[in-house]
Every structure is written in structure tokens, then in C-alpha cells.
Amino acid sequence: MKENFARRAGRPRPVAVPPRPAPPEPAALAAKVRTMAPSMTRSMQRVAETVAGDPAGCAALTVTGLAERTGTSEATVVRTARLLGYPGYRDLRLALAGLAAQQASGAAPAVTADISVDDPLSDVVAKLAHDERQTLTDTAGALDLVQLEAAVSALATARRVDVYGTGASSLVAQDLAQKLLRIGLIAHAHADPHLAVTNAVQLRTGDVAVAITHSGRTVDVIEPLQVAFDHGATTIAVTGRPDGEVTHYADHILTTSTARESELRPAAMSSRTSQLLVIDCLFIGVAQRTYDSAAPALHASYEALAHRHTPRER
């Protein structure tokens, strides 16, 4: 377009700045259409209305397509675009795409409902993602930084770390243990309650036991924690119920948040997300405090895994 002017300038014409009275608008396009409508010719009005009525659809059309759809010609479409303040149809189209995107992103609050049996998969995905995001926000907001700090300090200096979790929480427990192992700590996750208790007996002052239970009332997790507590270990509870029985034997309590649940959305989902966030915070905190040993350890474990991958493709 710049080029157009340049080339066209076959005649002297000094440096006259083009009129350009209206800068291209972002989204107030419908308004513009309404203001301009009276000064438009019939065909142009048809184009303008079509465009204002279905930005998304029109953004997908070429000049020719839009001309056909409105029963006019390409020239008219371009003229309309000019009248609306754009240098040409191309730019109108771009603005249209923007408008469509805005409309689409604005029209997404309908996912707060519960997941039901006949929801299409697209809704399931949106709702799940939304819920988990909500859970993360809640958890992060409710985390007690003082408790977290204390828990991190205990872990960072621990001689040995035991983690207890059953059912869905056992995966979280394993995750924590795996991560701590990777930065050189001696950590173990116990899913079997008997072994957990057996091992808890070994713990003493300076060791750390972590119990992960959403309900705060899971016997299989409370028992080993109590044993560890009684043997002098520092105990940490990660639970959704800061008043649950598990907290009786916990030096530090980290509260995970609870989201609304339903038949199709069992507790495991959002509580797991919440627990994992807490675990990650613990891990990063510990890694920071033991950075000198953690960094090489992380590197080493990465290197060790490399050969388990097929050679690069590309």
C-alpha cells in the first residue's frame, strides 16, 4: 500500500500526507458501522451489515467470497473497507479476526457448571481445566508460608525422609520421594501401611516424615506418622483438613484446598492437583536451600537418563 502511493506518485505532488481521518478501530466496529451506515450506498450497507453481523465468518472470506456472499462486487467490498477507515480489505479482515477472537474469548463463562453425563468432550476438557486452575489459585492463596518455610527447612537438613500416602495420595507421595531423591536426599515413599510403620520406627530426631492425606483421617497414613512423631522425627502433614486427626501428630501443617466434587469428578482430581502444587513448592524450596548439592545431582540424573531415549530424530 505504501508502495502503491510511491509508484502512483508519477507527478510532482510534494509530500502531502494522505488524509487518513479515521485510524483503524480495534473492536468498536459495530458502532462505526451504525454511524456510517446512513452515508453509505445500498451495496455498501449490505457489506457493512454482513461484516458487523458475523465477524468470524467474514474473516474467513476473501474479497471475492465476501462480494459473492453479499451479492456485490470486489470493488464495493474494498470501498466499504475504506469507508470504515481501513486502508483496504486486507486490514478490515485482520480487524475482523481480532474482533472475532475477542468475542470468542469473552463468551466462555458457561463452564462453571458441573460436569454431567451428557456433556460433550469439549465441555469436559474446558470444565476440568477450569476447575484445576481454580484449585491452583485457591491452594496458592491459602498456603501458609510460615509453615511451608518450616517444612522446607526441616526437609533440607533431614538425614532421611519418609513419605506416607495411600490410594491417590500414594502417587503424590511417590512424586515427592522421587524428586527429593533426584537432588540427593534420602527419601522413600511408603504405600504399604505395614512397611510404613516398620520403617517409621527407624526415624529419630533430625529425620522427617511427611503424611499426605486429603481427608486427614486415613488411618494407614496417620499411624506411621504418629510412630515417627513419637520417635522424635519432625513431621509434616499435607492435608485438606487442617483439623483432621493427622494434624495431632504433625509439627507442620500444609493445607491443600478442596474443590467442589461430584459423581463424575471424584475427590482425587482436584485434591491431587492441590497436593502436587504443595509438593512442588516443598521441592523447589529444598532445592534452593541445598542448591550446591542439588544442582549437580539434578544434572547427573538427567545425564543418566539420556541413553534411555532414542537418538534424536529430526
Partner DNA sequence: TCACAGATGAAACATATTTTCGATCCTGAC
Partner DNA sequence: GTCAGGATCGAAAATATGTTTCATCTGTGA
Site for a second copy in 26-65 (CB under 8 A): 26-27, 39, 59-60
CB of 206 to a second copy, least distance (A): 22
Residue appearing with cell numbers 520421594: 177
Residue among 123, 139, 130, 111 nearest 271 (CA):
139
Per CB under 8 A, contacts with a second copy among 81-120 are 93-95, 97-102, 104-105, 107, 115, 117-119
Instruction: Give which of a second copy, DNA, none residue 1 binds (C-beta under 5 to 8 Å, depending on kind).
Output: DNA
- CA 126 vs. chain centroid, Å, equals 12
Instruction: Give which of a second copy, DNA, none residue 271 binds (C-beta under 5 to 8 Å, depending on kind).
Output: none
CB of 275 to a second copy, least distance (A): 11
Is 148 a binding residue for a second copy by CB under 8 A? The answer is yes
Give the Cα separation of 291 and 213 in Å (integer).
29
CB of 216 to DNA, least distance (A): 16
Instruction: Give which of DNA, a second copy, none residue 210 binds (C-beta under 5 to 8 Å, depending on kind).
Output: none
Task: Give the CA angle between residues 133, 217, 130 to the nearest 5°.
Answer: 10
Per CB under 8 A, contacts with a second copy among 155-194 are 166-168, 171, 174-175, 178-179, 182
Which grid coordinates are listed for 53? 453481523
Task: Give the CA angle between residues 212, 218, 220 to the nearest 5°.
Answer: 90
Is 91 a binding residue for DNA by CB under 7 A? The answer is yes
The sign of the CA dihedral 66, 70, 75, 77 is negative
Give the Cα separation of 151 and 261 in Å (integer).
29
Is 297 a binding residue for a second copy by CB under 8 A? The answer is no
Is 284 a binding residue for a second copy by CB under 8 A? The answer is yes
Is 44 a binding residue for DNA by CB under 7 A? The answer is yes
Is 20 a binding residue for DNA by CB under 7 A? The answer is no
Draw the binding track, 62-81, toward DNA (x: CB under 7 A; -: no contact): xxx------xxxxxx-xx-x
3-state secondary structure of 60: coil
Is 136 a binding residue for a second copy by CB under 8 A? The answer is yes
Give strand pairing partners of 253.
237
CB of 58 to DNA, least distance (A): 11
One-letter amino acid for residue 75 of the chain: A
Give strand pairing partners of 161.
187, 208
Decide if 229 contacts 223 (C-beta within 8 A): no
Return the number of other C-beta atoms located less than 10 Å from residue 141's C-beta: 8
Please select the residue that binds a second copy; options are 112, 201, 280, 293, rule is CB under 8 A. 280
3-state secondary structure of 19: coil
Give the Cα separation of 134 and 269 in Å (integer).
12
3-state secondary structure of 187: strand
Residue among 135, 166, 140, 130 nearest 284 (CA):
140
CB of 163 to a second copy, least distance (A): 13
Is 3 a binding residue for DNA by CB under 7 A? The answer is yes
Is 242 a binding residue for DNA by CB under 7 A? The answer is no
Is 137 a binding residue for a second copy by CB under 8 A? The answer is yes
Size of the site for DNA (CB under 7 A): 28
CB of 12 to a second copy, least distance (A): 27
Is 262 a binding residue for a second copy by CB under 8 A? The answer is no
Please select the residue that binds a second copy; options are 21, 42, 145, 205, rule is CB under 8 A. 145
Residues in contact with DNA by CB under 7 A are 1, 3-4, 7-8, 41-44, 62-64, 71-76, 78-79, 81, 87-91, 93, 314
